[in-house]
């Protein structure tokens, strides 16, 4: 088969191996460790849902729903969609499984998501996210905890330098309605200068004009009324509680009064952690409070807040993880000792010692392979009457003090009374 006949990877997807796979795993492992510290429970939800779950929750007028979703009819004639994000599916699961009894519920998950968009640096059509949500909590402390969790995650990944938390409030319903009316009046006065996309948004989703990237819209959006002029006292107090909580926790933030979420079910806190280390697409983690979302899916009023982060984007920022190595390579001195070598490797693994037996080659070739693989030690399996004993441990290093401790660990794992050992 020629190379041109070889199946090719679909555009916008990726095969992770080597350093790329290690970076991905490091982000996930760090997220799993940090979410445990905050008591967030792991959850798994389907990769695909009924299309209506996303159309109703993300919004028919958003680019995600109108242009980017992977939707298709299954063999039963039902319209299903590969998930473009986690929040809608989690809200559906919360309602459908009766999880209200556990509220407030702190959930975390990670996995692949799908959007048909132009692939670019750190952005794919099948990509991966980590996600944290608090469902059923109306208190600003939930927002604070999620932001503190995110801040600690970025610090433990070693990427917090050069990353800024941008924070805004979208107010409560009273605030948002008043601000929306002022925005519509402002944009209507400049209708003739708006882009075609913004004219569509003006009818259905006027807040989204504020984050338009079209040069025709920017001067008009920059001159638009701010939300603070329409803030209710209750909404102002909520935002103040969030900012004071962040200050008390030592989380640095900056106000971005133009940071918005266009859909009506978003309330109060909106935020993004941004960096200039990834080019123009600088958001590495973002989220907000979505108190009205579950109502759009037919449930009761349920306050909630959450965030998501792209694993690929975080993986690009972290230092390259160390190559994974094995602790012990078990080397049969002769072919007839192969079975015994595999038995010993199994005992080591059962004791938590990473080990392997090479598949082929004589003892010398297997030693070379083990050294290339970065093994810490070699365990030779020899004849029972061999000089120095049947098992011989050779530590690949110069730390003599570590040899005896490592030898005892291997002895305990193997269940042997004594083990001849030496440094290389």
Q: Does residue 398 sit in the same domain as residue 364?
A: yes
Domain containing 306 — which CATH number? 3.30.930.10
Q: pLDDT band for position 66 (50/70/90)?
A: low
CA neighbours closer than 13 Å in the CB half-sphere of residue 284: 28
Tell me, what's the pLDDT at 1? 46
- Residue 411 has a pLDDT of 77
Per-residue pLDDT reduced to its tens digit, 211-261? 888 889 999 998 999 889 899 999 999 999 999 999 999 999 999 988 887
How many CB atoms are closer than 10 A to CB 363?
A: 18
Shared domain for 84 and 124, answered yes or no, is: yes
Tell me if 96 is assigned to some domain: yes
Residue 289 has pLDDT above 60, yes or no: yes
Contact present, 418 and 389 (Cβ < 8 Å): yes
Mean pLDDT over each residue of the chain, to the nearest integer? 89
Residues 42 and 132 in one domain: yes
Domain annotation covers residue 77: yes
The pLDDT, as a whole number, for residue 205 is: 79
The neighbouring-strand residues paired with 134 are 106, 305
Tokens coding 87: 């929040």
Boundary residue ending a domain (263, 284, 317): 317
Q: Is the pLDDT confidence value at 419 over 70?
A: no
Lowest pLDDT segment from 58-72, 97-111, 319-333, 383-397 = 58-72
**336 and 306 co-located in one domain:** no
pLDDT of residue 413: 78
pLDDT band at 278 (very low <50, low <70, confident <90, very high): confident
Question: Do 52 and 106 belong together in one domain?
Answer: yes
User: Are both 378 and 349 inside the same structural domain?
Assistant: yes
> Does residue 111 register a pLDDT over 90?
yes
304 and 363 housed in the same domain: no
Alpha helices, DSSP H, located in 18-70:
19-37, 51-58, 63
What are 124-153's pLDDT values in tens digits? 999 999 999 999 999 999 999 999 999 999
Position 203 confidence tier, pLDDT thresholds 50, 70, 90: confident
Percent of the chain whose pLDDT exceeds 70: 91
Note whether residue 389 is domain-resident. Answer: yes
Q: Which residue, 287, 283, 281, 282, is CA-closest to 308?
A: 287
145, 283: one domain: yes
Per-residue model confidence (pLDDT) at position 294 = 93
Q: Is residue 323 part of a domain?
A: no
pLDDT given for residue 385 in this prediction: 85
Residue 52's φ and ψ, nearest 5 degrees, are -60, -30
What is the C-alpha separation between 103 and 124, in angstroms, rounded? 34
Residue 307 and residue 146 in contact, taking contact as beta carbons nearer than 8 Å: yes
- Average pLDDT estimate for 82-92: 94
Domain assignment of residue 184, yes or no: no
pTM of the model: 0.88
Predicted confidence at residue 398, as pLDDT, reads 63
Instruction: Using DSSP, state whether 44 is helix, strand or coil.
Output: coil
Domain encompassing residue 359: 328-423
From start to end of 245-341, where are the E strands?
A: 254-255, 267-275, 283-289, 304-310, 328-332
Of 293, 317, 341, the residue at which a domain comes to its end is 317
Residue 227 lies in a domain: no
CATH of the domain at 404: 3.40.50.800
Q: Is residue 16 part of a domain?
A: yes
Listed residues 261, 283, 317: the one ending a domain: 317
Task: Tell me: do 284 and 355 sit in the same domain.
Answer: no
Least confident of 160-164, 253-257, 407-411: 407-411
* CA dist., res. 214 & res. 231, Å (int): 28
Is residue 352 domain-shared with residue 399, that is, in the same domain? Answer: yes
Question: Based on the domain organization, do 310 and 400 belong to the same domain?
Answer: no
**DSSP-assigned letters across all residues of 198-245:** HHHHHHH-GGGGGG---TTTHHHHHTSPPGGGG--HHHHHHHHHHHHH
| Domain assignment of residue 182, yes or no | no
The pLDDT value recorded for residue 2 is 52
pLDDT tens-place string over residues 351-397:
898 999 998 899 999 999 999 888 988 999 999 888 878 888 888 86
What is the pLDDT, as a whole number, of residue 422? 56
pLDDT grade for 154, boundaries at 50, 70 and 90: very high
pLDDT band at 201 (very low <50, low <70, confident <90, very high): confident
User: Is residue 154 domain-shared with residue 284, that is, in the same domain?
Assistant: yes
How many independent structural domains does the chain possess? 2
Cβ within 8 Å of residue 387, ≥6 positions away: none
pLDDT at 40: 98
């Amino acid at each position: 088969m020629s190379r041109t006949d070889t199946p090719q990877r679909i555009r916008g997807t990726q095969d992770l191996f080597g350093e790329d796979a290690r970076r991905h795993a490091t982000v996930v492992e760090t997220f799993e460790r940090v979410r445990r510290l905050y008591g967030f429970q792991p959850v798994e939800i389907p990769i695909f849902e009924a299309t209506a779950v996303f159309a109703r929750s993300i919004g028919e007028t958003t680019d995600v729903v109108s242009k980017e979703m992977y939707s298709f009819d299954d063999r039963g004639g039902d319209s299903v969609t590969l998930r473009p994000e986690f929040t809608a599916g989690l809200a559906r699961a919360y309602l459908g499984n009766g999880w209200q009894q556990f509220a407030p519920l702190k959930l975390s998950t990670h996995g692949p998501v799908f959007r048909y968009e132009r692939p670019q640096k750190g952005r794919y059509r099948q990509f991966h996210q980590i996600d944290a949500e608090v469902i059923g909590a109306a208190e600003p402390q939930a927002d604070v905890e999620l932001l503190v969790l995110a801040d600690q995650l970025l610090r433990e990944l070693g990427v917090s330098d050069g990353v800024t938390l941008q924070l805004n409030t979208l107010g409560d319903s009273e605030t948002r309605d008043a601000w929306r009316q002022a925005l519509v009046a402002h944009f209507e006065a400049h209708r003739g200068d708006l882009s075609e996309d913004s004219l569509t948004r003006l009818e259905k989703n006027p807040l989204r004009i504020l984050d338009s990237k079209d040069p025709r819209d920017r001067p008009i959006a920059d001159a638009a009324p701010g939300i603070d002029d329409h803030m209710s006292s209750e909404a102002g107090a909520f935002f103040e509680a969030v900012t004071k909580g962040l200050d008390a926790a030592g989380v640095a933030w900056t106000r971005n009064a133009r940071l918005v979420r266009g859909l009506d079910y978003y309330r109060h806190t909106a935020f993004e952690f941004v960096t200039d280390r990834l080019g123009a697409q600088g958001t590495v983690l973002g989220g907000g409070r979505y108190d009205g979302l579950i109502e759009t899916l037919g449930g009761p009023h349920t306050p909630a807040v959450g965030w998501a982060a792209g694993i690929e984007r975080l993986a690009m920022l972290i230092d390259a993880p160390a190559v994974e190595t094995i602790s012990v390579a078990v080397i049969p001195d002769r072919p007839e000792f192969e079975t015994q070598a595999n038995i010993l490797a199994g005992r080591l693994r059962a004791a938590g010692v990473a080990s392997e037996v090479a598949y082929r080659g004589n003892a010398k070739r297997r030693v070379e392979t083990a050294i290339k693989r970065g093994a810490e030690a070699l365990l030779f399996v020899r004849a029972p009457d061999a000089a120095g004993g049947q098992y011989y441990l050779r530590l690949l290093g110069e730390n003599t003090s570590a040899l005896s401790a490592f030898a005892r660990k291997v002895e305990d794992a193997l269940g042997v009374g004594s083990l001849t050992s030496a440094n290389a």
